[in-house]
Structure 1
Amino acid sequence: QDEEYWQKARPYPLSEREQGIYTMVDDFKETTVFKTGFDIANTFITGYYERKDIGVGFGRWARTFVYNETEGFRIQAGFRTMKEFSQLVRFTGTLAYGFRDKTPKWSFSTEFQLNREKTRKLTFAVKKDFEQLGSGTGVFSTQNMFSSILAREHGNMQSMLRKFSAEYDHEWCRMVNQNVKWQTTRMWSNPLVQFNLPGGGILDSFTTNELSTRIRLSASDERVNRGFFKKTYLFSKYPVLTLDLLYGFKGITRDNNYEYWRAGATIEWKVPSTAIGFGKLYVNGGAIFGSVPYPLLKLHEGNQTFFMDKTAFSCMNYYEFASDRWISGYYEHNFNGLVLGKIPLLKKLDLRELATVRVAWGTLTEANRENAPILLNDNTGSLELPYVEAGVGIGNILRLLRVDAFWRLTHRREDGGKNFTLNIGFDLEF
C-alpha cells in the first residue's frame, strides 16, 4: 500500500522518532549494498536474475551448465517475463544444447492469468527435452549444476520427450481447486531404456494422448500466498486430499494405439506440533486400467543423487520397481530439539532430530507383464513384497540445511547396490 493509505489507516500519527525510523529504513533500501544483497537473494530463491526495468528474468541459473552421460556438457539459457512486463500474461522459454548428443532442446509456455484473486488461469506449453522418468518431483530432481556435482550416476537413463499441452486452472472456492489438462507426448527410447516388443524387435518411439483432471480439496483454514502467476499453499492443520483421473485415448497420430485409464488419490498432512515435535504425512495410491507401455506405469520414484528429495526413495534406483496398482508414502517426524536441545554444547545451535520411514507396495497385472505392448526391462521388478526404507537425520543446520542417513530394510541388494546412503538438503521450518 502507498503512504497515503497508511496515513488514513493509522489511528494515531507517527511520532518524530517513529518517522525517523521509517525514513532511515527507506533510505537504507535505496543503498547499493541493500539492492545488491536483495538481488542476490532473490536470484537464488527464484532461480532467475530479474530485470524490473525490462520486465524479464533470465535463468534458471542453476541449469546454465550441467553434465550428464547422455548429453555430455550441456548449456542452457532461458527467460521468464515478470509482472512489470504484464500482469495478465507470462511467457517462459528455454534453449539448451548438449555437446555429446549434439541435439538442441527447447521449451516455451504462455500463461494467461484470467483472475488472480480467485484463480482462473490458462496455459499452453510445448517442450522437447530429456527427462528422467521415475524420479521425484523435488527441486533438485531435475538436471542442474548441484545434481551434476552430487549425482551417483550422471543421467544415462534419460528419455527424450516432446510434449504439447493445454491446461486450465479453476478455483471453485477457497477449499476446492481443479485443473483440467490435455497433453500429447512422443517418447523415444535409448540404449538403457529400450522399448522391447513382445514379438521381438525394438520400437524407436511411441505417442500418447491424454486428458486429465485434478481436484484439490483443503480446509478453510489453509493459508495461501497468491503470486501473479503462481499460487503457493503454505499451511493447514488439516489433511489435504488430491484426486486424479486420466484417460489415454487412441487417435490424433497414427502410432498411438493405447487406451487406458489412470486414477489416483493423495493425502498430505502437516501434523501439528505436540510435546515431542511435529510431522509430515504423505500417502499416494492409484491404479491403471488397460495395457500400457512400461514407461506409463507407476515407476516408483528413485533418487540417484546425494540430494534429499522427499518425493522419492533415497535407496531406490530409477526404473527399479513398477506397478499398475499401488500405494506408497512416507512419514517424517521432527522432534524439534527434544534431545539435542538439552545438550549444553549443542543447545545454542538449535538443531532438530529427524526420523523418516518410506513404504511402497504394488502389483502388476498380466496385462502389463507378458501381455504388455512394450515389455518391462530386465532390471525392473514388481513390489508384491513391500519396499521399506528408514532414515534418521539432523535438521536446522545453519537454519537451512539437513543431513539424513537412509537404510534399505527390504529388497536389500546383494550385488553392491544401494542399501545405505546419505542425503543433504535444504529445509526451512518456521
Structure 2
Amino acid sequence: MKRVQLIATIYTFLLCFFAVDALAQTTLIKGIVTDAKEKDPLPYVTVLFKGTSIMTRTDADGRFTISTTAAHNTLQFSYVGYKTEFLTITPAQTQEVSVKLNPEATALNEVVVTAGKRPRYRNKENPAVELIRRVIDNKAINRGERYKAIEFEQYERMMFSMSNLSEKFKNRRIFRNYQFLFEEQDSTKIGGKNILPVYMEEKLSQNYLQRDPDKKKTIVLANKQVNFDNALIDNKGLSQYFERMYADIDIYANNISLLSNQFLSPIADASPTFYKFFITDTIKTQQPNLVELSFIPRNNTDFLFEGKMYVTLDGTYAVKNAYLTINKNINLNFVRALEATLNFDKNADNRYHLAKSNLVVDFGLNQNKGGGFTGERTVAFTKYKINNPQPEQVFQGDAVVIAPTATQKSDDFWASNRADTLSEANLKVYQNIDTLNNMKSFQKTMDLVTLLFAGYKDFGPFEVGPVNTFYSFNDVEGLRLRLGGRTTTALSKRYYFETYAAYGIRDEKWKYFLSGTYSLNNKSVYTFPQHYLRASFQRDTKIPGQELQFVQENNFLLSFKRGENNVLLYNDFYRLEYMKEYENHFSYNVTLKKWTQRPGGVLAFENFIDGQPNLVNNITTSEIGVALRYAPNEKFYQGKLYRTPIIDKYPVFNLRYAAGLKDVLAGDYNYHNINASVEKRFYLSQLGFSDVTVEGGYIFGKVPYPLLTIHRANQTYAFQLRSYNLMNFMEFVSDRYASFNIDHNFNGFFFNKVPLLKKLKLREIASFKIIYGGLREENNPNRDASLLQFPVNAQGVKTTYSLNREPYMEGSLGIGNIFKLFRVDVVKRFSYLEHPVVSEYGIRAMVKFDF
C-alpha cells in the first residue's frame, strides 16, 4: 500500500487541486507524413508550429501528434532531403491531416532504378548492421574502461512541471489566490505543451573515478531545491525518487534504467536481434565525418528505443550524438512521450565522453490529450580530465560527501556555475513554492491530500490516524474500534510518541499501545540514517503466522478472510530498542523484549503431565536480540513520518539472532533463534525482472510451538508477495527451515505480441514459492506430550503440522497492470492438499501501481 501511497503522493499532490481542463482552447493536430512519390511513411520528420519552438517528430510509422493552447495557424514540416512544407490549420480544434513531402531536386551522376516490393529487412549483408557491430566491438574503449582515472565536474537539474494548461483552467475560482503561478510560462518541445514548473532541484558536484581497484568519490559542492513544508512531502525523498525515475543514460550499457524499467540500448550486445538499423545520412561537414544511423524496434510494444545516432568514421566508431524516443504503443503507463538527447565531446586521446544529456518525459492520464505533468533532467559534464590519479585520501570515507556550505550558495554563485541556462520562468519556481507554503488555502489543500493518501489528519504537533484502522472486525473480537496517533517534528525533532487504543465488542477487551522514541542524532527517527532509542508497551491481538508487508495489520480491508479465522493470541510486549544506521546502509538493531502470550478464540494452550491434560494460561519469554541489515546503494522515498525503499538491482542482506533468557524477567525458556535472508531483483532486459528471496532459520533449544517459526500464511483475498497465499494461519511450524521465493514480471513481453491484447497493456506475472522445514524430536508435540499440543478444530482434527514429510509449494500465474492499477493471480497449491479446510486453487488480487 505504501507503493501506491508513494506514487499518489508524487503524481497527485498537485493534481488534487490542479484539476486540468482537458480540451479547452487546445489545438490538437494528429496526422501522418509520407513520401509524395513512394507513398512510404517518413520517420523523424520535424513538425512545429511555424515561428515557435513548439515541436515534435514523427514516429517510426510517420505519425505525429502536436498541440498548443496558443492561437497558431500554420504547421511546418521539414526533413533532410525533402522540401519544407507548410500546412494551414484551424486553431482551437482537433484535426487529422495527411502530409506529403516532395524530395528535393538533386544533381546525380548516376541513377539506379529498381522496381517491385521493398526488400525484406535482413541483418545479413546489411551495412547498417555491420556498422552497429563495429560500434558494439568498440564499446569498452569508448566508454572509458581503459582509463586509469577520470575526473569531472557535474551539473544536474531536475524539473517537474504542470503541462498543457488552458486559459479556462487558469481562470477557475480555486486559483484566485494562485495567479502569481501563471505570470510567466515556458514551453517544451515534447508534445508542444505549455508547462509551468512546480518543482526544481539543482546540484553541482566534483567526481573522481579510479580503476584497479574501482573507486568512486562524489563531493557535492552545491545543492538547491524547492522546499515543500508539508507532512506528506519530504524534499530529500522527492529528490531520491526522481533520481531513480530519471537515472543516468549510459548508451554504452546493455540496459538503460528509466522509469523503474529497463530499456535495451540500441548498441547493446544483442541489439541487432531486437532493433532494425538504417543508414539514413552521411555528415561530411564535420571532422571526423559522421554516419546518421536510424533505428526502430522490431516490435514497437517492447521496452526499446527508436531514434537516431551519429557515429564517427575515424576508426573509433564512437557515438557523437544520439536522439532517443519511444513508440506510442510501448507498454508504459501514463507516459505520453519521452525524448532523450546525448551529446559527446572529444578527449585529448580522440575518444569521446558524454558532455550533456537531456531527458524529458511527459505524463498524463489520457494518452493523447488533456493536462498532465512533464519531468525533465539535464546533466552537463565539464572540466573533464583523464589519467590524472588522485591521492588515496581523496577516496577515504563515504562515497558521497556533501560540502558543509552546499545548501548555502548564493544566486550569484549559481548564475556563474550553471552549465546550462535557466529561463526567467524556471528561476521563479523557488520563490513560487515558498509563497505557496505560506498560503493558508494551499496548506488546507495539502492537509486534505495528506488525509486521503497518508491516512493521517494533521493537527500540527500531533496527527491522528491511520484512518483505515479505525474500524475492522474478526471472529474473536467482533467489531473492533481503534483510535490513535503520533507526534510530529512540529513538536520535537528529538522526542517522538505514538499511541492507540482499541476495543473489541465481542471479547470486551481493551487493547492499547504506547511508545516513546528519543533521536540520538537530532534528526527525525524516520530519516536516514536512523539513530534512536525506543521504549514501548503493547497489549493487543495477533494472528499467529500473519506477517504483512507495507500494510497496517488492522486495516479494514483485511477483515475479509477465507476459511476459519477463530484463532488469536493476546500479547503483552515490553520492548526496549536501540537502532543505529550508517551512511553505507549497514545497520544494527538491539532489542530487549519481554513477551507474554495468552490463547484467544478456540485456541488453547494444553499439554499432558503424567498422562493427564493440563491447561496453560500463558507462556512468557524474555529475549535479547540483534538484527543486522546491509542494503548497498539503497534509496528511499522519504516521507516526513515514514519511508519506503525503492526497489533496485542491489541485494538486501538480513541476519537476526535472538536468545531466550530463562528466569530473567520471569522468562520460561532458554533458546537461540538464528534467521538469515537475501533479497534481490534481477533484471532480464526484454524478459522483465525477477524478485528473488532466499531465507533460512534454525532454533536451538526445546520450546513450545508458539515460539517456533510459524510460517507466513495468508487467509485474506489479497495477494501477498512474502506470504504463502493458500496456506492457513498456523498451519505449519518449524525449528529449522529454508525457503525460496521468486516473483517474475514479464512486463508484457508475450501479451505485447498479441494484436488485441497489446492495446490493453497487460503484463504477465508468474511466481513460485517453496519451503523446506522440519521439527526435531525434542520440539515435536506428537513425540513429547509435555510440550504444548498442536491446536485442533471443532472436529478434534489437528490443524498445525510440521514440514518433515515434504516441502510446501505453491505457484501462481497472474495478469498485472489491469486498468493500470490491479494485479490478479490464479494461485495453485501443490502439496499437503489433504489438510482440513485447504484449497488447491484460489484467486488473489492486489493493488500494484507501476509505470
TM-score, length-scaled by structure 1: 0.90
Q: Hey, what's the Cα distance between the residues in 1 that align with 2:649 and 2:641?
A: 25
Partner-residue secondary structure (3-state), 1:382: coil
The equivalent residue for 1:240 is 652
CA drift at 1:216:
0.8
Distance in 2 (alpha carbons) for counterparts of 1:374 and 1:154: 21
After the TM superposition, which segments of 4 or more aligned residues of structure 1 sit over 6 Å from their partners? Answer: 20-34
- Counterpart of 1:375 (choices 764, 772, 789) is 789
Looking at structure 1, the residues matched to 566 and 578 of structure 2 have their Cα atoms a distance apart, in angstroms, of: 34
Does residue 101 (structure 1) correspond to residue 500 (structure 2)? The answer is no
Check the 8 A contact 1:111/1:123 in 2, yes or no: yes
2:839 aligned partner: 418
Residue equivalent to 1:15: 423
Q: Contact (CA 8 Å) 1:301, 1:313: kept in 2 or not?
A: yes
Change (3 A) 1:40 1:307: farther
> Counterpart amino acid of 2:467?
W
Greater shift, 394-403 or 376-385, is seen at 394-403
- Distance change >3 Å, CA 382–CA 233, structure 1 → 2: same
Deviation per residue, 1:380-424 (Å, 9 max, x gap): 111120010000111223333211110101111475522111111
2:87 corresponds in structure 1 to none
Instruction: Please point out which of 185, 196, 203 is paired with 2:616.
Output: 203
1:360 counterpart = 2:771: yes
Report deviation, 1:21: 7.0
Amino acid at match of 1:296: L
The equivalences for 1:67-78 within 5 A come to: 67-78=473-484
Q: Provide structure 2 residue ranges, at least 5 long, that are not aligned to the other structure.
A: 1-224, 228-407, 792-797
Deviates further, 308-317 or 108-117: 108-117
CA contact (8 A) 1:87 1:228 kept: no
Call closer, same or farther: CA 1:151–1:37 in 2, change over 3 Å. farther
Does residue 752 of structure 2 align to residue 341 of structure 1? yes
- Matches of 1:410 and 1:87, distance apart in 2: 51
Can you give the 5+ residue segments of structure 1 that lack an aligned partner in the other structure? none
1:252-281: CA deviations, max 9, x gaps?
Answer: 444x32110001110100112422000101
2:827 is the alignment partner of 1:406: yes
Query: Counterparts of 1:272 and 1:243 in 2: how far apart (Å)?
Result: 25
> Alpha-carbon deviation of 1:46?
2.7
SS of 2:706's partner is helix
CA contact (8 A) 2:763 2:817 kept: yes
Q: Relative to structure 1, is the Cα distance of residues 95 and 82 closer, same or farther in structure 2, using a 3 angstrom cutoff?
A: same
Distance in 1 (CA, whole Å) between partners of 2:605 and 2:646 is 41
User: Quick check: 1:214–1:243 contact (8 Å CA) kept in 2?
Assistant: yes
Distance 1:285 1:257, change over 3 A: same
Letter matched to residue 614 of structure 2:
G
**Corresponding residue for residue 542 of structure 2:** 131
AA partner of residue 356 (structure 1): S
Distance change >3 Å, CA 231–CA 34, structure 1 → 2 = closer
1:118 Cα deviation from its structure 2 partner: 3.5
Question: How many angstroms does 1:91 deviate by?
Answer: 0.8
* Cα deviations by residue, 1:9-38 (Å, 9 ceiling, x for unpaired): 353775344457777777888889976664
User: Could you tell me how far apart the structure 2 residues matched to 1:170 and 1:164 are?
Assistant: 20
> How big is each residue's C-alpha offset from its partner over 1:199-228, in whole Å with a ceiling of 9 and x where there is no partner?
221101111101000111232x32245555
CA distance in 2, matches of 1:160, 1:173: 38
> Is 2:577 aligned against 1:167?
yes
Aligned residues: 425
1:41 CA drift (Å): 4.2
Distance 1:113 1:48 in 2: 22
- Give the TM-score taking structure 2 as reference length: 0.47
Who is 2:661 aligned against?
249
| SS of residue paired to 1:105 | strand
- State the alpha-carbon separation in 1 of the partners of residues 443 and 464 from structure 2: 18
CA RMSD of aligned residues (A): 2.7
In the alignment, is residue 322 of structure 1 matched against residue 322 of structure 2? no
Does the residue aligned with 1:315 lie in a helix, a strand or coil? coil
Q: Which of the numbers 516, 520, 527 marks the counterpart of 1:114? A: 520
| Preserved contact between residue 799 and residue 835 of structure 2 (Cα < 8 Å) | no
CA distance 1:229–1:24, shift in 2 (3 Å) = closer
CA distance in 2, matches of 1:317, 1:306: 12
Q: How does 1:58-69 map to 2 (within 5 A)?
A: 58-69=464-475
Question: Does residue 837 of structure 2 align to residue 427 of structure 1?
Answer: no
**Bigger Cα Rg:** 2
Say which SS state the counterpart of residue 752 (structure 2) adopts. Answer: helix
Which residue of structure 2 lines up, in the alignment, with residue 182 of structure 1? 592
- Separation (CA, whole Å) in 1 of partners of 2:715 and 2:638: 34
In 1: Cα distance, 2:728 partner to 2:608 partner: 25
Q: CA deviation at 1:84?
A: 1.8
Q: Distance in 2 between matches of 1:268 and 1:284?
A: 9
Farther off after superposition, 9-18 or 78-87: 9-18
Are residues 1:218 and 2:631 paired?
yes
- Indicate how the Cα distance of structure 1 residues 88 and 73 shifts in structure 2: closer, same or farther if over 3 A, else same: same
Shift of 1:332: 0.3
Q: 1-side partners of 2:445 and 2:766: how far apart?
A: 35
Q: Distance in 2 between matches of 1:65 and 1:6?
A: 51
Distance change (3 Å), C-alpha of 1:397 and 1:44: farther
Q: Separation in 2 of the partners of 1:359 and 1:40? A: 44
Deviates more, 1:196-205 or 1:33-42: 33-42
Q: Kindly indicate whether the alpha-carbon contact (under 8 Å) linking 2:594 and 2:665 is maintained by their aligned counterparts in 1.
A: no
Q: Which amino acid aligns with 1:208?
A: T
Determine if contact 1:292/1:374 at 8 Å carries over to the other structure: no
Give the letter aligned to residue 71 of structure 1: E
How far apart, in 2, do the equivalents of 1:18 and 1:228 lie?
26
Whether the 8 Å contact between 1:207 and 1:253 is mirrored in structure 2 is no
Q: Which moved more, 1:375-384 or 1:415-424?
A: 415-424
Change beyond 3 A, Cα 1:84–1:196: same
Cα distance change of structure 1 residues 275 and 375 upon mapping to structure 2, 3 Å threshold: same
> Compared with structure 1, are the counterparts of its residues 398 and 56 closer, same or farther at alpha carbon in structure 2 (3 Å cutoff)?
farther
More deviation, 139-148/117-126: 139-148
Task: Compute the displacement of 1:317 (Å).
Answer: 0.1
Q: Partner residue of 2:685?
A: 274
1:194 equivalent to 2:600? Answer no
Change (3 A) 1:24 1:154: farther
Distance 2:624 2:659 in 1: 5
The question of whether the paired residues in 1 share the 8 Å contact of 2:727 and 2:838 is answered with no
Structure 1 residue 89 displacement after superposition: 1.9
**Rounded Cα–Cα distance in structure 2 between residues aligned with 1:23 and 1:218:** 37
The offset of 1:188, in angstroms, is 0.4
Relative to structure 1, the CA distance from residue 346 to residue 85 in structure 2 (aligned partners, 3 Å threshold; closer, same or farther) is farther
Name the amino acid aligned to 1:286: G
CA distance in 1, matches of 2:580, 2:587: 6
Report the CA distance between 1:68 and its aligned residue. Answer: 0.8
CA distance in structure 1 between the partners assigned to 2:434 and 2:641 by the alignment? 28
CA contact under 8 A between 2:487 and 2:498: conserved in structure 1? Answer: yes
Partner of 1:347: helix, strand, or coil? helix
Q: Of the candidates 449, 458, 476, which is equivalent to residue 50 of structure 1?
A: 458
156 and 184 in structure 1: CA distance in 2 versus 1, 3 angstrom threshold:
same
Cα distance change, pair 128–416 in 1 and its aligned pair in 2 (3 A): closer
Residues 333 and 32 from structure 1, CA distance in 2 versus in 1: closer, same or farther, beyond 3 angstroms? farther
The one-letter amino acid of 2:535's match is F
Q: Tell me the equivalent position of 1:396.
A: 817
Q: Note the alpha carbon deviations across 1:136-167, whole angstroms, 9 max, x for none.
A: 2224472321112x322574211100101011
Question: What is residue 95 of structure 2 aligned with on the other side?
Answer: none
